[in-house]
Structures are given as C-alpha cells and as structure tokens.
Amino acid sequence: MKKILLPLALLTFMISCKNNESGQPATADSSKITLITLDPGHFHAALVQKEMYPDVDSNVFVYAPAGQDLDLHLKRIESYNTRAENPTHWKENIYTGADFFQKMIDEKKGNVVVMSGNNQKKAEYILNTVSAGLNVLADKPMAIDKAGFELVKNAFAKAKENKVLLYDIMTERFEINTTLQREFSQIPGVFGTLEKGTPENPAVTKESVHYLYKFVSGSVLQRPAWFLDVTQQGEGIVDVTTHLVDLVQWECFPEQAIDYQNDIEMVSAKRWTTPITLSQFTEITKQPAFPDYLKKDIQKDSILNLYSNGSFNYKLRGVNAKVSVTWGYKAPEGTGDTHYSIMRGTKANLVIRQGAEQNYKPVLYIEPVKKGDAGFEKDLAAALKTIQEKYPGVELKKIAAGWQVAVPEKYNTGHEAHFGQVMQRYLQFLKEKKLPDWEVPNMIAKYFTTTSALELAKKTAGK
C-alpha cells in the first residue's frame, strides 16, 4: 500500500510547492471570494475552476486526504493552468492531514466551500460547514437517502440562520434547448397550458442515458473506485435524476416555490442494475481488483451489479411526471450521453430528442396538437420574435411533425462550460447576499422527491 501512495503524495507535494514557491503561507484576499475545495473526488470539482472569475481570488485552499482522488483533481487543475489557449492561474494550497475537515472549519481560509466528491458524508459535511458560517456550492446529489435529506433540510435552516448561501450545481438549466423548451412553454399562444397527464401518459417525461466510460477535458475520464459503490456515490435513482427533477420543477412552475409536503405525490418507482465486468472496472478506475466494499454487489466473482438505473412516476401539483436514468458502460462508436424530454401542452408538445437522427446532439421540436392549424402558425411566428429578442439567431424549420428549433452554434457551449455559468450565477447571488425566494424550497422539494423515489423503489422491489 505504501508503494502506491508514495508517488501520489509526492505529486501532491510537488504541485503544492509549485503553487507556493516562496514557501510562505498563502493568504486570501479578503476583498474577494476565496474558494475552498473539500475532498474533490469527482471531476466536477475541477470544472468549477476551468475558467477564472474577476471576483475570485486565484488562491484556492484544498482540504482532502492524500491519494488518487486528490492527485487526479490537481492534474486537472494543472492542465487548465498550462493549456495553450486562455490558461488559468489557480494556486492550489493543499492540506492532507487526517483531520482535513476540522482543519478547514478551524482555519476558514476561504468563504465558499466547493463540494464535489464522495457523497457518503456530503450531507453531514454540508450541515457542519454552513453551521460554521461558510457558504457552500455543492455538486449534486446533496442527499442520497432519507437520512441525508433530513440533514440537508436542516442545513438550509442553519444556512439561513447564519446568513450564508447553500446552493447546488444545476448545469442543465443552461443547456440551450432546455432553456428554449421552458421559454416556449410560457407562451400560451404556442403551448396552451400544461396537461395534467396520467401515470401511463405523463404530461412531462425526462429520460437520460449515460455511460461510465467517457471523455472529459479531452481525455478518458478515470473514475474513482468508490464511484461504483452506491453507498458512497448513491444509486442512479438519486444521482443524475437530481437534474431531471430540477428541470421538471424549473420548467413546469418557473420561479414558483414548491411545498414538498403538499405538492408532491410519489406514484411508482423501480431500480435495476448495470453489469460491470472486472476488465471494464479496471479500464475506467485503473484498479486491478474490486475493493472489499464492492464485494456485496459482486456475483460470480467477476460481475459487479451496479444499481445505476432508476425510473419513477410522481405528481407535482397534480401534474403527472416521469423521470428515468439509465447507465451503460460505453457508448457505441459515434454516440454519447442522450437526453429525451417532452412537455405536453393543450396546443403543442415541446420535445427534445438526441438520437441518431439528431447526430446525438439535443434538438428541440414544436409539434402542434392540431395539424394544419393556420392560426397556430401565425401565433408561432409571433412567439419566435419574442424568443429572438432574448436569443438572436434562433429560427424555426418546418418539418412533417411541426417545427424544428434551429439554434446557432454559439449557444451550444457544452456541458463543461455550464459549470462556469453556474458559478457566475452563484457569485451574483453572493454579491446580492441572497438566493431567489423559490430556490431553497425547490432544492428541498427536489431531494425529497429523489430520496422518496429510492425509498419506494426499495419497498416495492419484486412486487
């Protein structure tokens, strides 16, 4: 074990020294936002730093155990600092003692803690961090079970009490087709009103397909072994679905507070596994064998059954919605993660597809309920002018089923760029010293929904 850890510790020390060549303790600029990164086990922690921000100090204080997670994080930051085009200039100041969390709380070297890593203790970390008077920007999911939900709910109350901002990183709100789906749904002349739907034919459906083997920042993503342990990462039904539930709320009831105790009714839920072979596990983690904590999920000595898939139906203020996530190992050549979304209105359906026909890039379609309605086409033309005021260059292309929304390439910034957009919005909230009134109740509602779905799926398994 010592032979494996020594190079990682050495690399951590070298990068730390490189970023503090004077040998003097780094100090934060009190006039700026200063980031603290806590135990960065997920690549999203680095993506928050893929660009620089005018109001953010270049010093970042990292508190984490020494090891592969930290090593990979530092390599990603280093790649941003040394890239040829628009390099960043972050200075990573690292503490790797066993008491890293308490040290972070005691030292308070920064004022915004970024959490993106192992989710097993995340809810506890969040509560204790806001209790210490620090702001938190957390990657999803904040909570992976009901116990975690209760901690997160308490954390929001404590954040309010201590006048700090707790926020999660909802990147998918910045995907242009999703944004336009929301915009068109708010135009009654085009969309009408949102249908109520049924569990068999929901008014809103959001489906997401992901793959474990993927490229990030130009290279194959090395995942930590714990990412494949549902007790540490969380099951699929409480992970990626966080984004989907967020979008259901954000699109169906924009800027309206959701009451999790009265507005949400769980209807049905199920979960199932993705089989992962040892060779596949080794390919994405670089680990030669399954660690002991995964033995509980292994069959026939070599197949890991990962509960990465989930689907659930629920009612949000009487509107039937369906959310599902599916994980495979590796996408077929030329394909990738996909997203399907439909909002059914009384006048038209707004549908995002991302399959072979769309070259695996999301495309929004407007499909009228009544075909050949000249009045609808006139209303749609008027609506387009309204859309173009916000998003110049967006056009409509007539097709057999209705219209395809043509989006200029400048709006397709990509998933990685959305992390910077979330950060910029969060920085604005910090400047204003408050979140929009609806954000906190809706985050609570979101994690209540996902953790309730997991609870129901486990309870009804095999029935």
What's the confidence (pLDDT) of residue 237? 98
Q: Which of 155, 147, 103, 148 is nearest to 128 (CA)?
A: 155
Which residues, in sequence order, are CB contacts of 271 under 8 Å at separation 6+?
A: 235, 236, 237, 307, 309, 310, 311, 454, 457, 458, 461
**Quick one: 165 and 42 in the same domain?**
yes
Residue with tokens 């569990």: 199
Same domain for 161 and 176, yes or no, is no
As a whole number of angstroms, the distance between CA 247 and CA 18 comes to: 42
Residue showing tokens 């060779």: 279
438 and 411 together in one domain: yes
Does 309 lie in the same domain as 232?
Answer: yes
Could you tell me the sign of the dihedral formed by the alpha carbons of 132, 136, 139, 144, in that order? positive
pTM for this predicted structure: 0.91
Q: Is 318 left (phi over 0), alpha (psi -120 to 50) or beta?
A: left
Task: Give the domain extent around 48.
Answer: 2-169
Last residue of a domain, one of 169, 196, 216: 169
Which tokens is 286 given?
């670089």
Report pLDDT for 28.
54
Are residues 177 and 162 both part of a single domain? no
Q: How far apart are CA 424 and CA 311, in angstroms?
A: 32
* Alpha-carbon gap, residue 49 to 420, rounded angstroms: 8
Give the whole-angstrom CA distance, residue 122 versus residue 449. Answer: 18
Give the β-pairing of 91-95 and 56-63: parallel
Q: Which residue has the tokens 């030292």?
A: 107
Evaluate the CA torsion angle 38, 40, 42, 43 in order and state its sign.
Answer: positive
Does 426 lie in the same domain as 356?
Answer: yes
CA distances for 153 relative to 99, 156, 170, angstroms: 26, 5, 18
DSSP E strands in 317-411: the ranges are 319-330, 338-344, 348-353, 363-368, 395-399, 402-406
Q: 105 and 210: one domain?
A: no
Q: Are residues 350 and 378 in the same domain?
A: yes
pLDDT in tens, the chain (463 residues): 333 333 444 444 444 444 443 344 565 555 689 999 999 999 999 999 999 999 999 999 999 999 999 999 999 999 999 999 999 999 999 999 999 999 999 999 999 999 999 999 999 999 999 999 999 999 999 999 999 999 999 999 999 999 999 999 999 999 999 999 999 999 999 999 999 999 999 999 999 999 999 887 777 889 999 999 999 999 999 999 999 999 999 999 999 999 999 999 999 999 999 999 999 999 999 999 999 999 999 988 789 999 999 999 999 999 999 999 999 999 887 777 889 999 999 999 999 999 889 988 999 999 999 988 889 999 999 999 999 999 999 999 999 999 999 999 999 998 899 999 999 999 999 999 999 999 999 999 999 999 999 999 999 986 6
Contact 302, 281 (CB under 8 A): no
Task: Give the pLDDT of residue 27.
Answer: 57
**What pLDDT shows up at residue 334?**
75
Q: Do 220 and 315 belong to one domain?
A: yes
Domain end, chosen from 169, 197, 221, is at 169
Residue 6, pLDDT score: 34
Tell me which residue has tokens 């934060």. 28
Structure tokens of 399?
Answer: 């097709």
Round to whole Å and give the CA distance between 104 and 95: 9
Partners of 55 in the β-ladder: none
Residues 105 and 233 grouped into a single domain: no
| CB-CB contact of 308 with 233 (8 Å) | no
Kindly list the distances between the CA atom of residue 328 and the CA atoms of 213, 245, 274, 306, in Å, as whole numbers in the listed order. Answer: 9, 21, 7, 10
Domain boundary among 151, 169, 187: 169
Candidates 136, 322, 172; CA nearest to 237 is 322
At 98 the three-state DSSP class reads coil
CA-atom Rg of the chain in angstroms:
23
Instruction: Tell me the C-alpha distance between 448 and 440, whole Å.
Output: 12
| CA–CA dist 247, 227 (Å, integer) | 24
Backbone angles phi, psi at 154, to 5 degrees: -65, -35
Burial of 187-202, coded b for 16+ CB within 10 Å and e otherwise, reads beebbbebbebeeeeb
**CATH number (domain holding residue 133):** 3.40.50.720
Dump pLDDT digits (tens) for 179-206.
999 999 999 999 999 999 999 999 999 9
164 and 176: one domain?
A: no
Residues 177 and 324 in one domain: yes
Residue whose token pair is 């596994």: 273
Which residues 6+ apart lie within 8 Å of 336 measured at CB?
211, 214, 360
| CATH number of the domain that residue 441 is part of | 3.30.360.10
Domains identified in the chain, total number: 2
